[in-house]
Amino acid sequence: MATEGLHENETLASLKSEAESLKGKLEEERAKLRDVELHQVAERVEALGQFVMKTRRTLKGHGNKVLCMDWCKDKRRIVSSSQDGKVIVWDSFTTNKEHAVTMPCTWVMACAYAPSGCAIACGGLDNKCSVYPLTFDKNENMAAKKKSVAMHTNYLSACSFTNSDMQILTASGDGTCALWDVESGQLLQSFHGHGADVLCLDLAPSETGNTFVSGGCDKKAMVWDMRSGQCVQAFETHESDINSVRYYPSGDAFASGSDDATCRLYDLRADREVAIYSKESIIFGASSVDFSLSGRLLFAGYNDYTINVWDVLKGSRVSILFGHENRVSTLRVSPDGTAFCSGSWDHTLRVWA
Amino acid sequence: MEEWDVPQMKKEVESLKYQLAFQREMASKTIPELLKWIEDGIPKDPFLNPDLMKNNPWVEKGKCAIL
């Protein structure tokens, strides 16, 4: 009936304006707490010296773009996934390939190492996240033991085990994140709120409790309570897709990298953005970010093939690393902070120290 | 978000109310604490310590290796 349609439009309009007014109030509340700036407080901090960071290992073997990688807790094994459908486990120290599995789909956009080091998870255009136990028995076919855990209605963009091998958190092009029980494949919690594809996620360090942060094509970074499924905080300051989010080591902040060519730092306790890492000369998107052990350095991989190293406190770039011959798509610091690994569309991974 | 319907918009409004209720703290408290956390961690950060770098497993110790 025509009158029902009219009523629905009025409700939608009034809800939209209520949302706008709430957003306005949020900005007001945030502004009230803004009594100091990071760069002011950081003035008294000593500037960093020169850095010598070089490629120490190059991992060659993928037949196409490397899309994702993750470190094993043992600080030397690495899992990586590629557009060619292959997932490889490397001993990055010797550069030997220890395991390889071919996925039934191309564009394996996400992969993760289980905390025990005994399994890996991966997925992409198949819309699923699957877990593969790692076996050293040469007679066993890794693909035969595959376990399908997560099912989304669009591509899998990111996955991460929680602090055990038993649960996996996923992010998808379908606009949602979800928490799954690995053994049963059961959906434990889903997280709705992004207005477009979710591209990345990161779990809070275990000491800080049950939250995670996600970033998406809606330019929003959202912090979620894993138990209730509620969005606790949201930040909408980027001007384009957020490709990567990473918690600061203490859990009180997180960084993001975006197609708007900037990386940003958000203070979770003050509930606002506190720093922007950018330069006029940097015009290509940042695809992945990670912190050094102390949180003083932010490593960021870009679509212009470089890696920029930022002084988190001063906001300045301290180093620029060349080496990759195509976009840097993924970057993670090793568990003990002695090195970081980058993966690229040039088919290789590099370990830097 | 322009294409959202009434139920989705209701959820967005609920979520915003929840976010508004967050117990935020003053920057003059949180930022110095962030700084202190970093400064406490710097001695153990391999990238910020030339001494630690000497023992870094990824960095070759010398040009010769004993076979």
Say yes or no for a CB contact (<8 Å) between B19 and A274: no
A233 touches B at CB < 8 Å: yes
Overall average pLDDT of the A155-166 stretch: 95
Sheet with strand A187-191: strands edge to edge: A156-161, A167-172, A177-181, A187-191
Q: At residue B58, does pLDDT exceed 60?
A: yes
- When CB atoms are compared, the residue of A8, A26, A51 closest to B20 is A26
Domain for residue A34, yes or no?
no
Domain for residue A22, yes or no?
no
Give the pLDDT of residue B57.
86
B48 touches A at CB < 8 Å: yes
A67 touches B at CB < 8 Å: no
Q: Please name the residue of chain B whose CA is at the shortest distance from the CA of residue A39.
A: B31
Positive or negative: CA dihedral A16, A18, A24, A26: negative
From chain A, pick out residues whose CB is under 8 angstroms from the CB of B19. 26, 231-234
Q: For the residues of A232-268, what is the DSSP string, one character each?
A: EEEE---SS-EEEEEE-TTSSEEEEEETTS-EEEEET
Contact A219, A238 (CB under 8 A): yes
Which of the residues A56, A252, A254, A296 would you substitute to probe the B interface, choosing the one with the greatest number of B C-beta atoms within 10 Å? Answer: A296
User: Helix crossing, B6-20 with A2-32: angle to 10°?
Assistant: 20
Q: What is the mean pLDDT of chain A?
A: 94
DSSP code at position A341? E
Say yes or no for a CB contact (<8 Å) between B58 and A339: yes
B61 touches A at CB < 8 Å: no
CA distance B32 to chain A (A): 7
Domain for residue A26, yes or no?
no
From chain B, pick out residues whose CB is under 8 angstroms from the CB of A230. 15, 18
Domain for residue A12, yes or no?
no
Q: At residue A163, does pLDDT exceed 90?
A: no
Give residue-wise pLDDT tens across range B31-55: 999 999 999 999 999 999 877 877 8
Give the pLDDT of residue B63.
52
Sheet with strand A211-216: strands edge to edge: A198-203, A211-216, A221-225, A231-235
B48-53, long-range: CB < 8 A, 24+ apart: B48/A48, B48/A292, B48/A294, B48/A296, B48/A297, B53/A353
Overall average pLDDT of the A14-32 stretch: 93
Residue with tokens 């470089």, as numbered in its chain? A306
Say yes or no for a CB contact (<8 Å) between B44 and A293: yes
CA distance A233 to chain B (A): 5
In this structure, of A54-58, B3-7, B13-17, the range with the lowest mean pLDDT score is: B3-7
From chain B, pick out residues whose CB is under 8 angstroms from the CB of A51. 47
From chain B, pick out residues whose CB is under 8 angstroms from the CB of A53. 47
Contact A173, A182 (CB under 8 A): no
Overall average pLDDT of the A161-178 stretch: 96
Q: For chain A, what is the domain count?
A: 1
pTM, to two decimals: 0.93
On the 0-12 / 13-18 / 19+ scale of CB atoms within 10 A, B26 is middle
Domain for residue A30, yes or no?
no
Report d(CA A102, CA A118) in Å as an integer: 18
Domain for residue A139, yes or no?
yes
Our separate counts of H helices and E strands in chain A read 2, 28
Buried b (16+ CB within 10 A) or exposed e, A163-190: eebebbbbbbbbbbbbbbebeebeebbe
Q: For the residues of A263-331, what is the DSSP string, one character each?
A: EEEEETTTTEEEEEE--TT--SPEEEEEE-TTSSEEEEEETTS-EEEEETTT--EEEEE---SS-EEEE
A155 beta partners: none
Give the pLDDT of residue B16.
94
- The values of phi and psi at residue A10, to 5°, are -65, -45
Give residue-wise pLDDT tens across range A184-222: 999 999 999 999 999 999 999 977 679 999 999 999 999
Contact A114, A161 (CB under 8 A): yes
- Among A245, A281, A279, A244, CA closest to A262: A279
Domain for residue A14, yes or no?
no
Overall average pLDDT of the A328-332 stretch: 98
B18 touches A at CB < 8 Å: yes
In this structure, of A25-34, A66-75, A76-85, A240-249, the range with the lowest mean pLDDT score is: A25-34
Domain for residue A75, yes or no?
yes
CA distance A139 to chain B (A): 33
Contact A81, A124 (CB under 8 A): yes
Range of the domain at A316: 52-352
Say yes or no for a CB contact (<8 Å) between B6 and A36: no
